[in-house]
C-alpha cells in the first residue's frame, strides 16, 4: 500500500458502508460507549469512515484525538528497529549491555524478548495502578521493576509486559540521547505526516469516561502523564493519523523503516494461543480466514485498535472513549470491520501482464523438478524472482527472492531463509537445484543423477 492516505479512493458500495455503520452503531449502543469513530483503508486510501455519539451534534470526526493506549508500543518498537537497522544494537543484546542499574533478572532479558513479550518480566510495575496515577510516583527506571522483576524464565513463555516497553523506551533514550517522544516526533511522526499524534492531548480531543455497569451514568477517568511507563501506553492520536500508521505498518516507508523490516516485525516470535501471538512489537491475529497484524490499546476512559491485513491490502481503525466494552473488545470490532469489507467487496486480482524482459537462462530453469518422487514446479516472476510450488498441494508456492550473488532466498514455509542455488556440472549445464541441501532434479531419482546416497543402478521396478 502506498502512503497516499490523503487521496480518497473509490468509496465502498453503499451496502458495504451500511453494514460497517451498522456494526459500529451496535457496538456503541450495546456497549454504551459515549462515542466511537472508525475507518477502513484499502490500497493505501481511506474508503470509509463512520462514527456514533451519545451527544447529538457532537459526533467525532477523523481528526478528534483519543488516547490509544498500547498502540503506543508499535511506535516504540519502530524506534527500536531503527536502532537495530543502524547497527546500534542487536535483537540478541542483553538489556544491560545498554542500560545500567538494572537488577540481574531484568538486565538479562534481550531486546528481542522485550519486543515479543517473552522476557518473563512482570506485566505491571510496583505501586498503585500506573495507568491512573502520575508518573512522578516512579521517577527512576528501577522504580518500574518489581522484586523480583521476572515471573518466568526469559524466552520460555509469552507473558505480556508493560514494564518491558517502559525499558525499551529508556533504551531509545539512552542510545539517542534525548526523550523518546522527541525521537518519535523527528524519526517517525513528521516523515509520515502524523501531525495529530502527541504525548498529551491537543484540542479537539475526547474525554475519557467509565460507564457504570448497572446504570446509564458516567464517571470521568483521569488522564495522567505516566512518566517512565509512558512508552507502554501514553500516546494520543486520531483515526486519520492511525490510518496513515496502518498503511506504514503494512508496507513500510524507507524514510522510517524498510518494508523488509516491517515484514520481519510481522513474523511470529511468541507462542500462538487462540489464534493470537506476537511479532516484534506487533500483535498477530488469525480469524475469519484472514491474518491480521497491529495492536489494541486501552487506558482508563479509552479503547483503541488498529489492524492491517497486508495480503488483502486492507486496514481498519476504531477509537472509543470508554474504559471497557464487551463482545471480544474493540480488537474484535475492528477485525469485524475488515471481515465485512473483505466479504462484501473482495479484492480484485491485479491484471495479468507479461514480463517486460526475460533472461533465457532463467526461463530454461522453469518447469517441473523433483525432490525424490515429489514433483514441484518452478515459475519465473518479475525482477528475476522465482516461485516453487508442490504439484497437487493446495498450499501456496514458496517465493524465492533473487540475491546479488546469483542465488535466491526462500521467503516462506519450511525453507524460509534458506538459499536456492543452481548447481552446474563440469560441462556447464545445469545439474540440479540445491534448496537448503534439498536436491531437486529434472527426473524423479535419476540413476546417473546427483541424488544424495545414490540410486539403485537398476532404477525403477515393477512388482
CATH number at residue 146: 3.40.710.10
Same domain, 78 and 137: yes
3-state secondary structure of 248: helix
Same domain, 265 and 222: yes
Same domain, 365 and 338: no
| Long-range CB contacts (within 8 A, 24+) of 23-29 | 23/333, 23/336, 23/337, 23/340, 24/50, 24/51, 24/52, 24/318, 24/333, 24/337, 25/52, 27/320, 27/325, 27/327, 27/333, 28/52, 28/53, 28/54, 28/320
Residues 60-103: pLDDT tens digits?
999 999 999 999 999 999 999 999 999 999 999 999 999 998 98
Same domain, 18 and 63: yes
Same domain, 326 and 369: no
Same domain, 37 and 91: yes
457 part of a folded domain: no
249 part of a folded domain: yes
Q: Positive or negative CA dihedral for 32, 214, 331, 34? A: positive
460 part of a folded domain: no
462 part of a folded domain: no
pTM: 0.87
Beta bridge partners of 302: 299
Beta bridge partners of 110: 94
> Which parts of the chain sit beneath pLDDT 50?
1-3
355 part of a folded domain: no
How many domains are there within the chain?
A: 2
> Which domain range does residue 376 map to?
360-440
Cα–Cα distances (Å) from 444 to 143, 386, 439, 452, in that order, read 65, 21, 11, 13
Eight-class DSSP state of 66: E
Same domain, 193 and 281: yes
Looking at 313, 344, 375, which one is the last position of a domain? Answer: 344
Eight-class DSSP state of 221: P
| Cα–Cα nearest to 328, from 351, 345, 305 | 305
Enter the C-alpha cell of residue 280: 516484534
353 part of a folded domain: no
In DSSP notation, 50-64 reads EEEESSTT----TT-
SS (H, E, C) 416-442: CCCEEEEEECCCCCEEEEEECCEEEEC
329 part of a folded domain: yes
| Cα–Cα nearest to 218, from 298, 300, 330, 134 | 300
372 part of a folded domain: yes
Same domain, 332 and 366: no
Strands 66-67 and 236-237: antiparallel
Same domain, 172 and 302: yes
Same domain, 322 and 369: no
Same domain, 222 and 338: yes
CA angle 415, 285, 331 (to 5 degrees): 160
Same domain, 102 and 186: yes
Amino acid at each position: 500500500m502506498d502512503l497516499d492516505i490523503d487521496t480518497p479512493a473509490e468509496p465502498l458500495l453503499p451496502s458495504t458502508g451500511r453494514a460497517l455503520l451498522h456494526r459500529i452503531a451496535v457496538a456503541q449502543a450495546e456497549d454504551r460507549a459515549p462515542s466511537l469513530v472508525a475507518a477502513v483503508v484499502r490500497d493505501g486510501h481511506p474508503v470509509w469512515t463512520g462514527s456514533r455519539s451519545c451527544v447529538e451534534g457532537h459526533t467525532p470526526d477523523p481528526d478528534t484525538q483519543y488516547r490509544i493506549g498500547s498502540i503506543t508500543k508499535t511506535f516504540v518498537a519502530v524506534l527500536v528497529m531503527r536502532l537495530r537497522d543502524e547497527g546500534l544494537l542487536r535483537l540478541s543484546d542483553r538489556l544491560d549491555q545498554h542500560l545500567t542499574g538494572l537488577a540481574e533478572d531484568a538486565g538479562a532479558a534481550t531486546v528481542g524478548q522485550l519486543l515479543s513479550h517473552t522476557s518473563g518480566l512482570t506485566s505491571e510495575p510496583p505501586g498503585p495502578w500506573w495507568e491512573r496515577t502520575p508518573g512522578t510516583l516512579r521517577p527512576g527506571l528501577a522504580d518500574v521493576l518489581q522484586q523480583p522483576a521476572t515471573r518466568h524464565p526469559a524466552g520460555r513463555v509469552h507473558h505480556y509486559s508493560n514494564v518491558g516497553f517502559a525499558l525499551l523506551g529508556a533504551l531509545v533514550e539512552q542510545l539517542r540521547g534525548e526523550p523518546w517522544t522527541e525521537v518519535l516526533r523527528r524519526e517517525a511522526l513528521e516523515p509520515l505526516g502524523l501531525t495529530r499524534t502527541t504525548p498529551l492531548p491537543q484540542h479537539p480531543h475526547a474525554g475519557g469516561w467509565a460507564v457504570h455497569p448497572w446504570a446509564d451514568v458516567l464517571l470521568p477517568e483521569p488522564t495522567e502523564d505516566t512518566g517512565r511507563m509512558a512508552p507502554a501506553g501514553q500516546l494520543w492520536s486520531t483515526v486519520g493519523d492511525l490510518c496513515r500508521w496502518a498503511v506504514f505498518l503494512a508496507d513500510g516507508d524507507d524514510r522510517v523503516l524498510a518494508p523488509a523490516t516491517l515484514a520481519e516485525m510481522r513474523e511470529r516470535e511468541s507462542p500462538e494461543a487462540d489464534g493470537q501471538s506476537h511479532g516484534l512489537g506487533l500483535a498477530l491475529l488469525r480469524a475469519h480466514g484472514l491474518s491480521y497484524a497491529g495492536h489494541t490499546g486501552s487506558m482508563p476512559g479509552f479503547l483503541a485498535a488498529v489492524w492491517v491485513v497486508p495480503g488483502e491490502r486492507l486496514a481498519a481503525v476504531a477509537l472509543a472513549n470508554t474504559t471497557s466494552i464487551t463482545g471480544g473488545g474493540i480488537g474484535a470490532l475492528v477485525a469485524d470491520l475488515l471481515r465485512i469489507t473483505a466479504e462484501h467487496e473482495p479484492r480484485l486480482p491485479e491484471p495479468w501482464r507479461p514480463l517486460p524482459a526475460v533472461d533465457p537462462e532463467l526461463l530454461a530453469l522453469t518447469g517441473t523438478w523433483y525432490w525424490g518422487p515429489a514433483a514441484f514446479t518452478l515459475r519465473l516472476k518479475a525482477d528475476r524472482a522465482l516461485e516453487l510450488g508442490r504439484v497437487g498441494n493446495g498450499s501456496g508456492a514458496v517465493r524465492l527472492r533473487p540475491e546479488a550473488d546469483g542465488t535466491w532466498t526462500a521467503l516462506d514455509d519450511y525453507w524460509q531463509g534458506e538459499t536456492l542455488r543452481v548447481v552446474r556440472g563440469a560441462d556447464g549445464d545445469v545439474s540440479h537445484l540445491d534448496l537448503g541441501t534439498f536436491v531437486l532434479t529434472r527426473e524423479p531419482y535419476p540413476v546417473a543423477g546427483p541424488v544424495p546416497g545414490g540410486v539403485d543402478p537398476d532404477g525403477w521396478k515393477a512388482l
